[in-house]
């Protein structure tokens, strides 16, 4: 299954221009002394982004055929795990994330998958949180998990 | 002389030597793991020093510090993922060399340049500490602003072929560094009412996201690409003839690092970028920089390791810690009865000289331990790619959340990783993003303080002092040189144009 996407480089340049413009609005609405440098930097950002967008438009960068990729799945899992860490601690979101990463990188036999998940996620968490006492986000206030 | 001999005796006691070996080896390994840098290393080892005597405990911590700065270069070269921000500039030439099958040569140069920079800065520390400390205090806000502007020029250098995109990434990094409370007025910037954002973005989550997580995403996307395989790590020290040929680059990088390290508030990452920017202008092989040229590794590694020695100058001589790492080292010194400050050399001369000798031994230990340490990484990277990638993801999260204990940093790392992946696909060089984030806060604070000193007159910066004028003239000359050489390249035809961004992006 493949679909065609319209000029991803142009879209990226426009997206960056949009972000720069949005931040510029915030900078111009903020206190002038604290926002002096941000205003200058964001003006350069917007100007450069416009130039890049025009260049990409003129160049007519080729369209890219998108095929099915597991990458968005990994990206979403990484983001979900990062968001969950604040609420359910480090260990619980790490286990499925490591299992999924291993699976996507073709470690699919059940025993190595389970052992590696336990060792990489659980082992590193135990090493840092309990042995080296580098405190990672916890589920319980006591910090045990 | 008796004091120095007694200090040497203190530094070569067997317990101290064991502490040096353990600390340096652990530092190399910790530095090589993405996200875990000098701060995490020192945090882990500080509690172990409480039962030790002064020299032994400092030997352990100095070993961890110096080892971690060097260790960051190993993964920077092998998988385009700097273990520490200090080694970000090493990826510019280290990873292209790996792609060309010259990984042993790249690691050899990184190791030797780190050793050379470290030892030269120790020698300078021993002989010139008081003079350097006196000169360093002449660097006020305006001089630091000029120096950081000079370092910013390397954005142009690492973005050849896509200068606009490099500039945009540099601005992005700069804006990332502005999020949170303004350091001068205390006003919130780009927090959008979120309390969590008021503490701003730390450098470590951004670096691990930009380089390490985006590399994992890249390798998943290119998993059928043979070039995406992790190379077998090996080390080959450069031939003496090669060392002689590049001696000027080694000395220049080491001097830059030694000098920048002596300035409070700069640090090894800034020093590496400044040294790289200077190499782009002065190296006889500058046209190959960014495409797998050892001079790039030498500039970055000799400079960032030279900082490890000279950063003790303001710490010991003035009692001013230059960055978080030296602040932690200073805390450890105070715990163990060393009181940094102007009286230190008079009151505790033997201890100070013993620390200098320890620093030299640590650099020798680093050279000796580099081979077995790289052997360990070779063993790790021989594992199937899935295990390595899952480990990198975990270390990214551990590194991100352990720096400040803020779970939001994991989200910052994840989002930066996704952004960096999109930027790589769009042909944007990533290095300027980190350069902007490292240098941005110093540029802004020195500019605003300078404007306060000059009462809002920016033109006054150029005539503020002899040092400032010299630095601004240098910047002008570098800009003219860059413009002239790019015009000359354009006249010479498209065949001579380099495509640096490609080598940095991959």
Q: What residues of A are in contact with residue B417 (Cβ under 8 Å)?
A: 75, 78
Q: What residues of B are in contact with residue A114 (Cβ under 8 Å)?
A: none
Q: What is the DSSP letter of B246?
A: T
Q: Which of A26, A79, A128 sits opposite B414 (nearest CB)?
A: A79
For A36, counting Cβ atoms within 10 Å of its Cβ (0-12 exposed, 13-18 middle, 19+ buried), the class is middle
- Which residue of chain A comes nearest to B427, CA vs CA? A9
- Picking from A84, A93, A105, A106 by the largest number of B CB atoms within 10 A of its own CB, the best residue to mutate is A105
The C-alpha of B266 sits at a distance from chain A's nearest C-alpha, in angstroms, of 20
Closest by CA position to B8, among listed B354, B474, B411, B397: B354
> Tokens 């090996």 appear where?
B234
* CA–CA gap between residue B89 and residue B301 (Å, rounded): 8
The whole-number pLDDT of residue B506 equals 38
- Which residue of chain B comes nearest to A13, CA vs CA? B426
The C-alpha of B183 sits at a distance from chain A's nearest C-alpha, in angstroms, of 9
Pairing mode, strands B180-181 and A2-5: unpaired
> Tokens 């040294």 appear where?
B275
Q: Which of B217, B427, B448 sits opposite A9 (nearest CB)?
A: B427
Query: Would the pLDDT of B207 be above 60?
Result: yes
- Which residue of chain B comes nearest to A89, CA vs CA? B407
The C-alpha of B339 sits at a distance from chain A's nearest C-alpha, in angstroms, of 27
Q: Which pLDDT tens digit goes with each residue over B333-366?
A: 888 888 877 677 777 878 888 888 999 999 999 9
Sequence-distant (6+) residues with CB within 8 A of B422 are A12
The whole-number pLDDT of residue B496 equals 40
Contact B471, B147 (CB under 8 A): yes
* CA–CA gap between residue B44 and residue B40 (Å, rounded): 6
Burial B9-24 (b: 16+ CB within 10 A, else e): ebbeeeebbebbbbbb
Q: Which of B217, B423, B425 sits opposite A75 (nearest CB)?
A: B217
* CA–CA gap between residue A128 and residue A138 (Å, rounded): 12
- Which residue of chain B comes nearest to A74, CA vs CA? B217
The whole-number pLDDT of residue B161 equals 67
Q: Backbone phi, then psi, for A41, in 5-degree steps?
A: -65, -45
Query: Would the pLDDT of B191 be above 60?
Result: yes
Q: Which of A31, A83, A106 sits opposite B411 (nearest CB)?
A: A83
**Interface check A105 vs B, CB under 8 A:** yes
Residue B495: pLDDT band with limits 50, 70, 90: very low
The whole-number pLDDT of residue B223 equals 65
Q: Which of A35, A79, A120 sits opposite B390 (nearest CB)?
A: A120
Q: What is the DSSP letter of A130?
A: I
The C-alpha of A13 sits at a distance from chain B's nearest C-alpha, in angstroms, of 9
E strands of B194-283, at which residues?
none
The verdict on a CB contact (< 8 Å) between A134 and B223 is: no
The verdict on a CB contact (< 8 Å) between A37 and B164 is: no
Cα B229 versus chain centre, distance: 26
Q: What does the mean pLDDT of chain B come to?
A: 85
Query: For chain B, what percentages of helix, strand and coil (3-state, to nearest 5) are there?
Result: 80, 0, 20
Closest by CA position to B139, among listed B444, B472, B468: B468
Q: What residues of B are in contact with residue A52 (Cβ under 8 Å)?
A: 164-165, 168
* CA–CA gap between residue B388 and residue A14 (Å, rounded): 35
Sequence-distant (6+) residues with CB within 8 A of B417 are A75, A78, B208, B209, B210, B212, B213, B214, B216, B217, B396
**Interface check A52 vs B, CB under 8 A:** yes
Which residues does residue B188 pair with via DSSP β-bridges, in sequence order?
A: B181
> Tokens 């350097």 appear where?
B132
- Picking from B386, B395, B442 by the largest number of A CB atoms within 10 A of its own CB, the best residue to mutate is B386
Closest by CA position to B264, among listed B204, B316, B203, B207: B316
- Helix A91-104 with A110-117: angle, nearest 10 deg: 140
Query: Would the pLDDT of B321 be above 80?
Result: no
The whole-number pLDDT of residue A2 equals 43
User: How many C-beta neighbours within 10 Å does residue B421 have?
Assistant: 23
What 3-state DSSP class applies to A5? Answer: strand
Q: Which of B164, B171, B192 sits opposite A41 (nearest CB)?
A: B171
Query: Would the pLDDT of B485 be above 60?
Result: yes
- The arithmetic mean of pLDDT across residues B421-445, rounded, is 89
For B161, counting Cβ atoms within 10 Å of its Cβ (0-12 exposed, 13-18 middle, 19+ buried), the class is middle
Which residues does residue A65 pair with via DSSP β-bridges, in sequence order?
A: A4
The whole-number pLDDT of residue B59 equals 93
The C-alpha of A122 sits at a distance from chain B's nearest C-alpha, in angstroms, of 10
The whole-number pLDDT of residue B230 equals 65
DSSP notation for B185-229:
T--EES-TT-SGGGG---HHHHHIIIIIIHHHHHHHHTTT-GGGS
The verdict on a CB contact (< 8 Å) between B402 and A16 is: no
Could you tell me the two tokens for B190? 């780009």
The verdict on a CB contact (< 8 Å) between A37 and B408 is: no
Q: What percent of chain B has pLDDT over 90?
A: 31
* CA–CA gap between residue B73 and residue B85 (Å, rounded): 10
CA distances from residue A136 to A52, A94, B204, B392, B406 in whole angstroms, order as listed: 41, 12, 15, 17, 9
Per-residue pLDDT of chain A (145 residues; tens, 9 = 90+): 444 556 788 899 999 999 999 999 999 988 888 899 999 999 999 999 999 999 988 887 566 555 668 899 999 999 999 999 989 999 999 999 999 999 999 999 999 999 999 999 999 999 989 988 888 998 887 777 7
Cα B491 versus chain centre, distance: 36
Query: Would the pLDDT of B505 be above 50?
Result: no
**Interface check A36 vs B, CB under 8 A:** yes
Q: Which pLDDT tens digit goes with each residue over B26-42?
A: 999 988 887 777 888 88
* CA–CA gap between residue B228 and residue A105 (Å, rounded): 12
- The residues in A 74-103 lying below 8 A from B, measured between CB atoms, are 74-75, 78-79, 81-83, 85-86, 90, 94, 97-98, 101-102
Q: Which of B164, B175, B385 sits opposite A51 (nearest CB)?
A: B164
Instruction: Kindly state the helix (H) or strand (E) to which residue B188 belongs, with its residue range.
Output: strand B188-189
Q: Which pLDDT tens digit goes with each residue over A85-100?
A: 989 999 999 999 999 9
Closest by CA position to B436, among listed B9, B61, B88, B82: B88
The verdict on a CB contact (< 8 Å) between B385 and A105 is: yes
Could you tell me the two tokens for A88? 């359910």
> Tokens 């991959």 appear where?
B506
Q: Which pLDDT tens digit goes with each residue over B275-288?
A: 998 898 888 988 88
The verdict on a CB contact (< 8 Å) between A78 and B408 is: no
Q: What residues of B are in contact with residue A135 (Cβ under 8 Å)?
A: 402, 405
The whole-number pLDDT of residue A104 equals 94
- The arithmetic mean of pLDDT across residues B210-236, rounded, is 76
The whole-number pLDDT of residue A67 equals 65
CA distances from residue B258 to B138, B268, B299 in whole angstroms, order as listed: 16, 10, 13
The whole-number pLDDT of residue A45 equals 95
The whole-number pLDDT of residue B502 equals 42
Contact B497, B162 (CB under 8 A): no
The whole-number pLDDT of residue B358 equals 93
- The arithmetic mean of pLDDT across residues B253-271, rounded, is 83
ipTM of predicted complex: 0.92
Closest by CA position to B90, among listed B175, B170, B173, B31: B31
- The arithmetic mean of pLDDT across residues B489-506, rounded, is 48
- Picking from B407, B428, B450, B458 by the largest number of A CB atoms within 10 A of its own CB, the best residue to mutate is B407
């Amino acid at each position: 299954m493949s679909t065609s996407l319209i000029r991803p480089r142009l879209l990226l340049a426009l997206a960056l221009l949009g972000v720069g413009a949005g931040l510029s609005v915030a900078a111009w609405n903020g206190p002038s002394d604290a926002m002096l440098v941000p205003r200058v930097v964001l003006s350069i950002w917007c100007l450069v982004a416009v130039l890049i967008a025009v260049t990409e438009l003129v160049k007519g960068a080729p369209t890219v055929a998108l095929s099915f990729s597991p990458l968005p799945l990994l990206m979403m899992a990484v983001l979900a795990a990062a968001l969950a860490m604040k609420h359910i601690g480090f260990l619980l979101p790490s286990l499925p994330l490591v299992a999924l990463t291993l699976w996507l990188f073709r470690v699919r036999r059940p025993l190595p998958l389970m052992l590696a998940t336990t060792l990489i996620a659980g082992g590193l968490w135990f090493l840092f949180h309990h042995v080296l006492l580098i405190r990672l986000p916890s589920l319980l206030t006591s910090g045990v998990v | 002389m008796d004091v120095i001999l007694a200090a040497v005796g203190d530094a070569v006691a067997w317990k101290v030597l064991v502490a040096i070996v353990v600390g340096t080896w652990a530092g190399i390994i910790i530095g090589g793991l993405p996200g875990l840098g000098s701060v995490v290393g020192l945090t882990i080892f500080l509690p172990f020093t409480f039962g030790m005597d002064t020299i032994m405990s400092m030997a352990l911590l100095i070993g961890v510090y110096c080892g971690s700065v060097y260790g960051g270069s190993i993964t920077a070269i092998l998988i385009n993922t700097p273990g520490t921000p200090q080694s970000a500039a090493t990826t510019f030439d280290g990873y292209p060399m790996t792609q060309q099958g010259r990984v042993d040569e790249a690691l050899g140069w990184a190791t030797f340049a780190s050793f050379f920079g470290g030892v030269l800065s120790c020698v300078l520390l021993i002989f010139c500490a008081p003079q350097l400390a006196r000169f360093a205090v002449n660097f006020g806000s305006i001089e630091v602003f000029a120096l950081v502007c000079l370092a910013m020029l390397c954005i142009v250098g690492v973005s050849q072929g896509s200068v606009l995109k490099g500039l945009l990434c540099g601005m992005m990094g700069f804006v990332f560094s502005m999020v949170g409370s303004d350091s001068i007025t205390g006003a919130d910037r780009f927090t959008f009412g979120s309390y969590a954002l008021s503490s701003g973005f730390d450098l470590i989550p951004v670096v691990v996201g930009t380089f390490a997580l985006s590399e994992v995403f890249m390798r998943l996307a290119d998993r059928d690409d043979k070039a995406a395989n992790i190379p077998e790590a090996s080390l080959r020290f450069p031939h003496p003839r090669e060392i002689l040929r590049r001696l000027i680059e080694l000395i220049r990088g080491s001097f830059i690092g030694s000098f920048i390290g002596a300035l409070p508030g700069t640090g090894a990452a800034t020093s590496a970028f400044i040294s790289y920017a200077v190499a782009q202008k002065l190296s006889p092989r500058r046209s190959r920089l960014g495409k797998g040229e050892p001079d790039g590794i030498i500039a970055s590694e000799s400079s960032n390791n030279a900082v490890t020695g000279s950063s003790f100058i303001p710490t010991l001589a003035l009692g001013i810690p230059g960055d978080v790492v030296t602040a932690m080292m200073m805390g450890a010194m105070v715990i163990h009865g060393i009181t940094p400050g102007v009286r230190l050399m008079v009151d505790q001369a033997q201890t100070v000289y013993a620390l200098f000798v320890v620093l030299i031994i640590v650099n020798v230990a680093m050279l000796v331990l580099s081979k077995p340490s790289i052997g360990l990484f070779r063993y790790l990277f021989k594992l199937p790619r899935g295990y390595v990638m899952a480990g990198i993801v975990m270390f990214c999260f551990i590194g991100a959340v352990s720096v400040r204990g803020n779970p939001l940093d994991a989200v910052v790392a994840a989002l930066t990783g996704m952004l960096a992946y999109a930027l790589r696909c769009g042909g944007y060089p990533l290095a300027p993003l980190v350069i902007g984030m490292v240098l941005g806060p110093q540029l802004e604070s020195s500019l605003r303080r300078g404007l306060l000193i000059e009462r809002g007159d920016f033109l006054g910066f150029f005539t503020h002092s002899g040092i400032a004028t010299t630095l601004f003239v240098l910047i002008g000359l570098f800009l003219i040189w860059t413009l002239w050489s790019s015009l000359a390249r354009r006249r010479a035809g498209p065949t001579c144009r380099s495509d640096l961004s490609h080598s940095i992006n991959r």
